[in-house]
Structure 1
């Protein structure tokens, strides 16, 4: 028997089908295929900012793995994607928000030694020195094994002398990157760290590849055992590109611990003054520099920039990476990005090439496998400084000559992130953004900031609904170049900044200008171009009144009753000389917020134990890549 309900539905379905046929013409009108109604199919300019980390170490780095890090590349990717993982000390860990991209940049030197020892891999047991380390670890003497391995690093000696071990680990790292790379959602960029210390001075670089497994699996990462000289790294990268058809770039980091060597005026091996060929190669292979990470701030220094009240931020400036030599004031000019950008103008005037034409990013340099940069969720620079009631007492790097040169947990900061303007979240798009320098650094916050420079902008442009489309047509973005100024015009800039949606309000936007004056001397000047609240910017371009401070240190809290969620500015250089080389970059400052030390102090109830003079309050920030002007 047929259900009455079915008898009712069948005529309705038939009627609907007939109506659909009859109205087909009305619903699907004829169109001209050459007309494109949607404004987006033909757009090509970057329209999204992606946040990630280019500098993460897992247990596959010897210093991390032999030091107790148990987080593998797979664990690192899962954490970056927003999954809960277990830290090396057994803590549950999870990001507030997933990252958009990640570079597992494990040290090339004896890559994978710790996990290969852990599973007694044949490639370890077949090597006499690796087996010696294996037996020490299995006997409970892992720290002694690590110290023995470390004793070879200052002399760039390879204690293992077996590239097959590194190749085994490298292939595993590549496979994990391929597994977790999800174009459009999450990008796993293949890379490694070339770890060269000269007399304890940090000259490390991270190498990032544009392509995937097919290219990267053809090589074993270049290490300091191959060479300590960056010029040899560039030559190796050139050969890699010729061999594989892929692309590569390098990111120098942590210049503040190089004791005057990161941006030195001479080459490393020959100690010759920099020439045009060197300048060209360095700019080509190193388009970006890391200026914020837990081991110190690398944008500016109060000694070099005494008029910059925001330069005294997260400084570690007493020694080199190994704590073997006290720093002197004359070293500082060759360590900080702003000074290097200024000296680059002088080199370009003299040589026709600029060795220090770079964009700026931040990253974590975390050695615990967890890419965290949130002050209230920071899992430390390494597993030895993961959250604990004793963390504030810990020593990250103990000086072998003087305890005052040790790097302590109290001097560390939770940071940072690399922000990238790109069209899509893919390896190619992210890598291309680094190459063209359309990137910026943050201290761990997710401030969104966009900058354009040109000669034909007007103040009304700042309010255009299609600002980006218009600005790419009329000017250039961060990382770009301006030249040949019209006789009656100065560079004009459009800047928009939006606070981290889950973070603190903004205090101000600043322009940092550097230039080469008529006498050939480098100069700098800071302008406040937008400030929150009813504060004023004086005739000298500065806002002298601070934004205020709502931080309650005991409660490790703040509120957004001060500052602004968004800031924007149109600014024209009032002191422009069209005959002088210059650069301009923007710095966006947040209102004061608690540091990880304040959160530790509250969480572990350490008010009566931790020192009163520790840094419990700071102003996080974003620092954009420059726009250069060339006469």
Structure 2
């Protein structure tokens, strides 16, 4: 259903009747008009269906009149037999969506439900996760669809609500081999390194974590034993893996996507990972063995692999790049992986193959960074900026090529130079959990890998460690989920929505968000209870394009948000604009569009904080501030029709306890002062682009 309650239509009749009585008489009168069938005639399939057909006929006539199909000059209600009169003005007219009905939910051809999922999940079949994790792909899918499991270390765990879909993205490198190392397969034990890892995996959990870090480093340096790179083993395991996923795919109830993560770490440690998402079933997916980094670490080779898959199988596949904050400046570099200048062909291919980008996950948030957006008071959110995946130190100049907002601005610049935009992506989120558990909520966070499952000392456990450089447990971010506006819960519909970028990313809460851009939205549209009808009819949704501004007009945006039903109220909705000015320089600005309470912007243009009801000691908050829903129409006050631009919405919740606060309360511990205990969760919509 739509995210906002739809208002009632007005009904006028030849008699003074209530709306409910009029509808009852419509049904009764239509039923009475039917001729009695002959005694030997078969009984109609459904008496109600015949009544509905008559009612539908009347409403079609009404719609025809309201769209100009009736007599010219007709302004009075339309009559259909004894049906009564329906005022055409009571049913909102559409420009391009076709006829509307008395029922505000009928005739909808647009997506009407946000489907929630995780596009980045690992199980014991991933080479690194398997050093500790025992949750299998089948376990993970059962958990995601709402079943209770026990974690690797025996803790009962369940989601607050089932997810609608999940992409299984275990690493293609050495897929499924960790179990053989764990059980001591004699063939594997001939390798001293693998024997050492076997001992670690069957010993202390922290030894397993250390072995996993060693394996990741060896993989990024290309020094893994050859036995782990056997392509025949990979194909065999791929066929088993896809068979498991197929078993749990239930169109209409739960969608299990076939996928994998391609994990290049050149440098070593510069994270250029991509999640591959198949639109297809197993019959097509197994026709081509997944690409591994044993063959290549160049993203352009991945795109060629994707093209071959589509050509040979007739299937469809897309890639979602990993959060770029661990790439040390390579994720959105202004040159190719091999150091060549970018071309239009490159830009078009990247845009086609990678329509979405993972903007937030356990290893930090990737929307923007305070060094890149110094005037954005919400920029420093779950920042991971120490280095790359191997924690090789990051230089300040690398940041501009790692974060989504700056990449979107660079995309405008490249589009002007090349004629195509390589960084034209929508926004997605994932957990990147290596536990097999899609736990992205602050109060239900099971960590990056089983070595940092809930516990009194988790906050100080090492999450990443290389050559003395460390990321501690408390630095993990409990995130995130992707919402997809799809027409149904199926692989095809969800994948198609991803491909057209009609998605938004959440750091955890399942708030509902609509974002539309156009030229004719009015303040009155913000008062409607059916924003989707208005949004799709008068504009384009998130992920869409506007071009060639009508004379004298500025773009208008309809944005609406409804809080998570079991979550926190909303602080504000912001629209972030990025553009190229007349001198070709990149610009950005954050606009507060609608907010809770009666706050007013100060002399600096900043809105005062919403307040804070968090009781850290009790790990609770109160919805006595903020608003359950926010909706507004906003017009760009600084629009120049000659300047390329993009716009996306950011929805901010009121302050709530961070996962560390729940940990402190449940284990009765005191966190160090540097550990944050309060957070402000958020959602990011895919952008809408304007091109002159």
TM-score, normalization: structure 1?
0.91
**1:446 and 2:505 equivalent?**
no
Matches within 5 A, 1:560-575: 560-575=623-638
CA distance in 1 between partners of 2:384 and 2:528 (Å): 42
Matches within 5 A, 1:482-501: 482-501=546-565
Provide the residue aligned with 1:281 in structure 2.
349
Matches within 5 A, 1:166-315: 166-199=234-267, 200-269=269-338, 271-315=339-383
CA distance in 1 between partners of 2:56 and 2:614 (Å): 58
Of the candidates 201, 218, 229, which is equivalent to residue 152 of structure 1?
218
Q: Secondary structure at the match of 2:624?
A: coil
Partners of 1:375 and 1:596 within 8 A in 2: yes
CA distance in 1 between partners of 2:629 and 2:186 (Å): 59
Relative distance call for 1:30 and 1:505 in structure 2 (3 A) is: closer
CA distance in 1 between partners of 2:303 and 2:239 (Å): 22
Provide the residue aligned with 1:352 in structure 2.
419
Segment drifting more, 135-144 vs 527-536: 135-144
Relative distance call for 1:441 and 1:389 in structure 2 (3 A) is: same
Q: Secondary structure at the match of 2:239?
A: helix
CA distance in 2 between partners of 1:521 and 1:283 (Å): 23
**1:464 and 2:521 equivalent?**
no
The Cα shift of 1:328 comes to: 1.4
Structure 1 unaligned regions, length at least 5: 1-18
Relative distance call for 1:415 and 1:147 in structure 2 (3 A) is: closer
Partners of 2:173 and 2:263 within 8 A in 1: yes
**1:52 and 2:52 equivalent?**
no
The Cα shift of 1:147 comes to: 6.5
The Cα shift of 1:466 comes to: 3.6
Relative distance call for 1:90 and 1:21 in structure 2 (3 A) is: farther
CA distance in 2 between partners of 1:146 and 1:514 (Å): 40
Please give the per-residue CA displacement for 1:347-379, whole angstroms capped at 9, x wherever unaligned: 001110001000011110000110001111100
The Cα shift of 1:284 comes to: 0.6
Partners of 2:117 and 2:164 within 8 A in 1: yes
The CA RMSD measured in Å over matched residues stands at 2.4
Relative distance call for 1:391 and 1:153 in structure 2 (3 A) is: same
Please give the per-residue CA displacement for 1:218-254, whole angstroms capped at 9, x wherever unaligned: 1221111111000000000000000111101100112
The Cα shift of 1:318 comes to: 1.2
Provide the residue aligned with 1:545 in structure 2.
608
Partners of 1:531 and 1:543 within 8 A in 2: no
Relative distance call for 1:398 and 1:147 in structure 2 (3 A) is: closer
The Cα shift of 1:117 comes to: 4.1
TM-score, normalization: structure 2?
0.83
CA distance in 2 between partners of 1:219 and 1:125 (Å): 29
CA distance in 1 between partners of 2:370 and 2:286 (Å): 45
Partners of 1:210 and 1:246 within 8 A in 2: yes
CA distance in 1 between partners of 2:223 and 2:293 (Å): 9
Partners of 2:328 and 2:388 within 8 A in 1: yes
Segment drifting more, 21-30 vs 230-239: 21-30
Provide the residue aligned with 2:172 in structure 1.
108
Segment drifting more, 135-144 vs 506-515: 135-144
The Cα shift of 1:43 comes to: 2.7
Partners of 1:529 and 1:537 within 8 A in 2: no
Relative distance call for 1:601 and 1:135 in structure 2 (3 A) is: closer
**1:623 and 2:684 equivalent?**
yes
CA distance in 1 between partners of 2:193 and 2:585 (Å): 57
Of the candidates 434, 439, 456, which is equivalent to residue 498 of structure 2?
434
Relative distance call for 1:34 and 1:546 in structure 2 (3 A) is: closer
